[in-house]
C-alpha cells in the first residue's frame, strides 16, 4: 500500500474460493464474489450466516482457511489489516475513548503520515456536520453522532474499499433513515466502493446497487434489489427479502407462455420466463401486496390466478396497509397486504373470501421442493455449529 | 487526590452520595472515621510534634522535650541526603523493572488467556502465590541464593561471569532485585484488572486504521491501560521508597545500600534519636506526596477518562 497518498478511486474486490472454518463449524463455504469498483454492495443475511466473517476477512482481521482475496487486482490475502487500503465502520463504532473526536478522525491520517491531518479531519467532520463537536470525547456524544464520527474516521482515509458492519443497527428508525440517505450521498459524492453487511433487508434494498443474500456460509442469490425481490430463486430469499406466499405442487402442463401447477386442486399459472424449474414438483410464490381479496368468486379470466374460497383468520391494521391472513384449505395460510384506499375495511375476520393475482406477478423457485429448507429465521452461529455436529455424528 | 488513580469513576459517585447525606450514611461512616482519627491522624500529629522536639536539658539518651526545633530538619537533610536520594533511585529503578516484567505478564493473563478461563485463574493464583509465604522468609531465601557460598554464585564465579572476590548480597543489585521481586504482585494485579477489561475491538480499529502492531500498542493499548499503570506504579513505588527490609544488612543490603527506611529504623530503635527519625519520616512522606501528585497530574487525570 502506498503511504502518503489517497486511493484515486474505489477498487474492485474479488473473493476467490474462500473457506473459513472455526473449530466446530464452517462459517464460510466456498465463497466466490466480485464487487465492481464504485458500487454499493450489500451482504444480507440472518445473524450467523457468515456475513460478518466475510467482512472481517476482507478487513484482514481474520485469515481465510482457503481462498484468495484480491483488491483492485492485487492479492491481499497475506497482508495484515494495517497494510490493506480498506477501512471499516464497526458495529460497535470502536471510537477510541482516550482521544477527542478530532484525534479519532485524524488517527488513520497520522499513521499514514499524511500532510495536514487535522485540516482534513475538520473537513470530513464538516461533511458529517459534527465539526462543532471536534474537541469532545466520543462518550459525550449521542449514538447517532458517534456513528457519524465512526463513518468520518473511516472515509477520511479515502479507502479503496469501505466496509460497513451493520453500522446503523444501534440507531432508532428515524435516525437510521436519515443516515441511510447520508451514506448513500457520501458514497456517490466520494465514489468509493462500499461493502455493507446487514440483516436489515429494507436497509439493504434502499441503499445497495447489488445485494447478495447469504445463508449458512453461502450466497443464495445475488442481484439488483428489484430483481431479487421480483424473482427470488430460493424460498430462503423469497422469505428473507420481504414476505412471500409459497405453494408446492406438480406441473400439469406447459405452454409457450406459462406453466400450470396444480395447487390443492386449483390451477395456478406462472409465466415460463419467471420460473426456474419447469417440470416435476415445483414451488411457486407470489408477494402479499400483489394479492387482491374478493368477497365473491371473481369471473374467469385467463390472465388471473384465483385461489379460494378461504377464511380470513386475522386482520391487522398497520397504517399504510392492512394485513390479512387467509386460510385456504389445502394451500395453507396466505398473507395479503391491501392498501388502505377507503376508510374502514369491508372484510372481517371469519369472512369467506377469494384471492386473486395477475399471472405475471407469480414466480417459480429453483429449490427442490422435497429438500427445500423451510425458512428458519435468525439461526445463530452456535445453532449452526450444533446442527453440523449432529449432522456429522 | 492521588487516590483518584485507583478508580475510574469515583467523582460522579462521590458527588451522588454527598447530595443525600442522611444520618444513616453518617452512622455507617462513623467506625471508619473513628479508626482513621485514632490510628492515622493521632500518630501523624504525634510524629509531627516529635519531629520538632529538642533534647532534654539534663536528660538521658532518648529523652526529649516538646519544642520547635526546626533545625532537626536541616540536620537530617544534611546528614542523610545520600540515603534519601538512594531510596528514590532504588524505588524508581525497582518500579521500572516491575512494570517491564508485569506488563507482558498481565497482558497475557488479561487479554491473551481470555479464551481459557482456567489458565487465567491458574496464572492469577501463581501471581498471588508468593503471599502465602512470609515476606521476610522469602527475602531471607533470596539472601541464601545470593550468598557467597551458594550454588548460583559459585557457578557464576566458576564460569568467570563474576570476579572471584565479588559479592552479590550487600550490593545495589541485590537490593533492587529484592524490591522488584517483592513488589511485582502489587504491579501485576492492578495492571491485570485494567487489561482484563480492555476491549480488543479498539485494537482491531487501530489496526484497521493503518497502525502497525507497535503503534497500536503505543497509541491505543498503553493509553487505555493507563489507570492500571498509574495504580500499579504507585502501589510499588510508595512502599518501595520506604522499605527497610530488603536494604537491611540482615537481608539483601549492606553498609553502602542503606535506604531512608533503614535510617529511620536506626534512629528510632537503635540511636533513640526520635526527633531525627520523625523528621525523616515527615520528609519521606511529603516527598512521596509531592512526587505522586505531580505524577498523577501528568500521566493520570487527563487520560483516565
A10-52 pLDDT, tens per residue?
688 999 999 999 888 888 988 998 998 888 899 998 888 888 8
The three-point CA angle A167-A171-A172 to 5° equals: 150
pLDDT reported for residue A387: 47
For chain B, domain boundaries: 2-17+73-300
Q: Select from B208, B146, B236 the least CA-distant residue to A104.
A: B208
Task: Answer whether residue A226 shows pLDDT above 50.
Answer: yes
The CA distance from B296 to the nearest CA of chain A, in Å, is 16
Say whether A109 sits in a helix, a strand or coil. helix
Interface test with A, best of B8, B210, B302 (most A CBs within 10 A): B210
Residue partners of A134: CB distance under 8 A and separation at least 6? A100, A101, A102, A121, A122, A125
Cβ burial, residue B31 (10 Å; 0-12/13-18/19+): exposed
Determine which of A124-128, B94-98, B133-137, B208-212 has the lowest per-residue pLDDT on average. A124-128
The dihedral sign for the CA sequence A79, A83, A84, A90? positive
| Sheet with A66-71, side-by-side order of all strands | A25-35, A13-22, A66-71, A74-75
What confidence tier does B216 reach under pLDDT thresholds 50, 70, 90? very high
Backbone angles phi, psi at B150, to 5 degrees: -70, 160
pLDDT value of residue B196: 93
| pTM score of the predicted model | 0.79
Whether the per-residue pLDDT at B10 is higher than 50: the answer is no
Residue B162 has phi, psi (to 5 degrees) of -125, 145
Q: Is the peptide bond before A309 cis (omega within 30 degrees of 0)?
A: yes
Side-chain half-sphere CA neighbours of A27 within 13 A: 22
pLDDT for B15 beyond 70: no
Q: How high is the pLDDT of residue B86?
A: 94
For residues B242 and B247, what is the distance between their CA atoms, to the nearest angstrom?
A: 10
Mean local confidence (pLDDT), B226-253: 91
Which residues are CB-neighbours of A58 under 8 A, at least 6 positions away?
A13, A15, A69, A86, A161, A163, A195
Mean pLDDT value of segment B247-276: 90
Q: Does A379 touch chain B (CB under 8 A)?
A: no
pLDDT at B204 over 60: yes
From the list A82, A92, A98, the residue facing B207 with the nearest CB is A82
Q: Does residue A80 contact residue B214 with C-beta atoms inside 8 Å?
A: no
DSSP codes of every residue in B179-230: HHHHHHHHHHHHHHHHHHT--HHHHHHHHHTT--HHHHIIIIIHHHTHHHHH
CATH topology of domain A243-364: OB fold (Dihydrolipoamide Acetyltransferase, E2P) (2.40.50)
Residues of B in contact with A92 (CB under 8 A): 201
Q: Are A357 and A305 in contact (CB under 8 A)?
A: yes
CB contact under 8 A, B211 and A80: no
Chain B residues whose CB is inside 8 A of the A157 CB are 209-210
Alpha-carbon Rg for chain A in angstroms:
25
The residue to which cell 509531627 is assigned: B48
pLDDT digits (tens, 9 = 90+) for A159-195: 889 999 888 776 777 777 877 787 788 777 777 889 9
pLDDT of residue B61: 77
First-residue to last-residue Cα distance in chain A: 46
**Residues of chain B contacting A86 with CB distance shorter than 8 Å:** 208
| Domain boundaries, given as residue ranges, for chain A | 13-227, 243-364
Whole-angstrom Cα distance, residue A106 to residue A92? 19
State the pLDDT confidence band at A378, using cuts at 50, 70 and 90: very low
Q: What is the pLDDT of residues B83-109, one digit of tens each?
A: 999 999 999 999 999 999 999 999 999
Q: What string of DSSP letters covers B237-282?
A: HHHHHH--STTSTTTT--GGG--HHHHHHIIIIIS--HHHHHHHHH
What was the ipTM of the complex prediction?
A: 0.79
Closest residue in A to B204 (Cα–Cα) = A61
Over 60: is that where the pLDDT of B1 sits?
Answer: no
Side-chain half-sphere CA neighbours of A301 within 13 A: 12
Q: How far is CA A322 from the centre of its chain?
A: 25
Homologous superfamily (CATH) for A13-227: P-loop containing nucleotide triphosphate hydrolases (3.40.50.300)
Q: How confident is the model at residue A249 (pLDDT cuts 50, 70, 90)?
A: confident
Those residues whose C-beta lies under 8 Å from the C-beta of residue A3, and which sit 6 or more positions away, are A112, A113
Contact A94 B305 (CB under 8 A): no
Q: Give the DSSP letter string of B122-173.
A: HHHHHHHGGGGS-HHHHHHHHHHHHSTTSHHHHHHHHTTSS-TT--STTSHH
Report the largest interatomic distance among the alpha carbons of chain A, rounded to a whole angstrom. Answer: 74
Residues contacting residue A42 through CB under 8 Å, at least 6 positions apart? A196, A197, A198, A203, A204, A207, A208, A210, A211, A212
Alpha carbon of B305: minimum distance to chain A alpha carbons (Å): 7
Confidence at A375, pLDDT banded by 50, 70, 90: very low
Higher pLDDT, B244 or A378: B244
Q: How far apart are CA A26 and CA A65, in angstroms?
A: 10
- Chain A CA closest to residue B224: A98
What's the pLDDT score for residue A343?
Answer: 63
Interface contact B205-A96, CB threshold 8 A: yes
For residue A100, give how far its alpha carbon lies from the nearest alpha carbon of chain B (Å).
11
Q: Which residue has the cell 474537541?
A: A135
For a pLDDT cut of 90, what percent of chain A falls above it?
Answer: 34
Long-range contacts of A25-30 (CB under 8 A, 24+ apart): A25/A381, A25/A384, A25/A385, A25/A388, A25/A389, A26/A217, A26/A388, A27/A53, A27/A217, A27/A381, A28/A53, A28/A54, A28/A57, A28/A64, A28/A217, A29/A216, A29/A217, A29/A218, A30/A67, A30/A218
**Cβ-nearest to A98 among B204, B208, B305:** B305
Q: Would you say how long chain A is, in residues?
A: 393
Indicate yes or no: CB of B202 within 8 angstroms of CB of A80. no
Contacts of residue B289, defined as CB under 8 A and 6 or more positions apart, other chains included, come to: B2
CATH superfamily of B2-17+73-300: MetI-like (1.10.3720.10)
- A157 in B contact zone (CB under 8 Å): yes
Of B212, B223, B224, the CB nearest to A82: B212
CA B270 to chain centroid: 25
What pLDDT, in 10s, does the model give residues A51-105?
889 999 999 999 999 999 999 888 999 999 999 999 999 988 999 999 999 999 9
Residue A391: the pLDDT is 43
Cα of A219 vs its chain's centroid, Å: 11
More confident residue, A223 or A299: A223
Partnered with residue A25 across adjacent β-strands are A22
Q: Do A153 and B209 touch (CB under 8 A)?
A: yes
- Max CA separation in chain B (angstroms): 79
Q: Does A88 contact B at CB distance below 8 Å?
A: yes
d(CA B155, CA B141): 18
Read off the pLDDT of residues A334-369 as tens digits, 9 standing for 90 and up.
899 988 776 656 788 888 889 999 989 999 998 776
Could A157 and B210 be called an inter-chain contact, meaning their C-beta atoms sit closer than 8 Å?
Answer: yes
Amino acid at each position: 500500500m502506498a503511504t502518503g497518498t489517497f486511493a484515486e478511486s474505489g477498487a474492485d474486490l474479488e473473493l476467490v474460493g474462500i473457506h473459513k472454518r472455526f473449530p466446530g463449524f464452517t462459517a464460510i463455504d466456498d465463497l466466490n464474489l466480485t464487487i465492481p469498483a464504485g458500487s454499493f454492495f450489500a451482504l444480507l443475511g440472518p445473524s450467523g450466516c457468515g456475513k460478518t466473517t466475510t467482512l472481517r476477512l476482507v478487513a484482514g482481521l481474520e485469515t481465510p482457511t482457503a481462498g484468495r482475496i484480491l483488491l483492485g487486482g492485487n492479492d491481499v490475502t497475506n497482508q495484515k489489516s494495517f497494510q490493506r487500503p480498506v477501512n471499516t465502520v464497526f458495529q460497535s463504532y470502536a471510537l477510541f475513548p482516550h482521544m477527542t473526536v478530532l484525534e479519532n478522525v485524524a488517527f488513520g491520517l497520522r499513521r499514514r503520515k499524511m500532510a495536514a491531518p487535522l485540516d482534513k479531519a475538520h473537513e470530513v467532520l464538516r461533511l458529517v456536520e459534527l465539526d462543532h463537536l471536534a474537541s469532545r470525547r466520543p462518550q459525550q456524544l449521542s449514538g447517532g453522532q458517534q456513528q457519524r464520527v465512526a463513518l468520518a474516521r473511516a472515509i477520511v482515509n479515502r479507502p479503496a474499499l469501505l466496509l460497513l458492519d451493520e453500522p446503523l443497527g444501534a440507531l432508532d428508525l428515524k435516525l437510521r433513515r436519515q443516515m441511510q440517505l447520508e451514506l448513500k450521498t457520501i458514497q456517490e459524492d466520494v465514489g468509493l466502493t462500499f461493502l455493507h453487511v446487514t440483516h436489515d433487508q429494507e436497509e439493504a434494498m434502499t441503499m445497495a446497487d447489488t445485494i447478495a443474500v447469504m445463508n449458512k456460509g453461502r450466497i443464495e442469490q445475488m442481484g439488483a434489489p428489484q430483481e431479487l425481490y421480483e424473482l427470488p430463486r430460493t424460498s430462503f430469499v423469497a422469505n428473507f427479502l420481504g414476505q412471500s406466499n409459497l405453494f408446492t405442487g406438480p406441473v400439469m402442463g406447459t405452454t409457450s407462455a406459462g406453466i400450470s401447477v396444480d395447487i390443492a386442486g386449483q390451477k395456478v399459472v406462472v409465466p415460463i420466463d419467471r420460473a426456474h424449474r419447469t417440470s416435476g414438483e415445483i414451488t411457486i410464490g407470489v408477494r402479499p401486496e400483489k394479492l387482491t381479496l374478493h368477497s365473491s368468486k371473481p369471473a374467469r379470466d385467463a390472465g388471473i390466478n384465483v385461489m379460494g374460497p378461504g377464511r380470513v383468520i386475522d386482520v391487522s391494521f398497520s397504517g399504510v396497509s392492512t394485513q390479512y391472513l387467509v386460510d385456504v384449505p389445502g394451500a395453507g395460510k396466505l398473507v395479503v397486504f391491501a392498501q388502505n384506499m377507503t376508510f374502514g375495511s369491508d372484510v372481517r375476520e371469519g369472512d369467506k373470501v377469494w384471492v386473486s393475482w395477475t399471472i405475471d406477478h407469480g414466480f417459480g423457485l429453483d429449490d427442490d421442493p422435497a429438500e427445500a429448507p423451510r425458512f428458519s429465521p435468525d439461526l445463530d452461529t452456535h445453532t449452526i455449529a450444533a446442527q453440523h455436529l449432529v449432522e456429522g455424528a | 487526590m492521588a487516590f483518584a488513580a485507583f478508580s475510574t469513576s469515583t467523582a460522579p459517585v462521590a458527588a451522588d452520595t454527598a447530595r443525600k447525606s442522611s444520618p444513616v450514611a453518617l452512622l455507617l461512616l462513623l467506625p471508619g472515621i473513628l479508626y482513621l482519627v485514632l490510628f492515622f491522624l493521632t500518630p501523624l500529629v504525634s510524629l509531627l510534634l516529635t519531629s520538632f522536639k529538642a533534647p532534654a536539658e539534663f536528660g538521658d539518651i532518648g529523652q526529649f522535650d516538646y519544642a520547635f526545633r526546626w533545625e532537626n530538619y536541616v540536620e537530617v537533610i544534611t546528614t542523610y541526603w545520600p540515603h534519601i536520594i538512594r531510596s528514590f533511585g532504588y524505588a524508581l529503578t525497582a518500579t521500572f523493572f516491575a512494570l517491564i516484567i508485569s506488563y507482558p505478564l498481565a497482558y497475557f493473563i488479561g487479554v491473551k488467556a481470555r479464551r481459557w478461563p482456567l489458565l487465567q485463574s491458574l496464572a492469577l493464583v501463581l501471581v498471588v502465590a508468593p503471599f502465602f509465604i512470609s515476606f521476610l522468609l522469602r527475602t531471607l531465601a533470596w539472601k541464601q541464593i545470593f550468598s557467597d557460598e551458594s550454588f548460583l554464585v559459585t557457578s557464576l564465579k566458576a564460569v568467570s561471569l563474576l570476579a572471584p572476590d565479588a559479592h552479590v548480597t550487600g550490593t545495589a543489585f541485590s537490593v533492587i532485585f529484592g524490591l522488584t521481586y517483592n513488589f511485582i504482585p502489587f504491579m501485576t494485579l492492578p495492571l491485570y484488572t485494567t487489561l482484563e477489561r480492555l476491549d480488543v475491538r479498539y485494537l482491531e480499529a487501530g489496526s484497521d486504521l493503518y497502525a502497525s502492531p507497535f503503534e497500536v500498542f503505543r497509541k491505543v493499548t498503553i493509553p487505555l491501560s493507563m489507570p492500571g499503570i498509574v495504580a500499579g506504579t504507585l502501589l510499588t513505588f510508595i512502599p518501595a521508597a520506604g522499605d527497610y527490609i530488603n536494604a537491611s544488612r540482615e537481608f539483601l543490603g549492606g553498609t553502602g545500600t542503606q535506604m531512608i527506611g533503614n535510617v529511620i529504623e536506626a534512629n528510632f530503635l537503635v540511636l533513640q534519636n526520635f526527633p531525627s527519625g520523625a523528621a525523616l519520616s515527615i520528609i519521606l512522606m511529603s516527598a512521596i506526596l509531592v512526587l505522586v501528585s505531580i505524577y498523577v497530574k501528568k500521566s493520570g487525570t487527563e487520560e483516565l477518562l
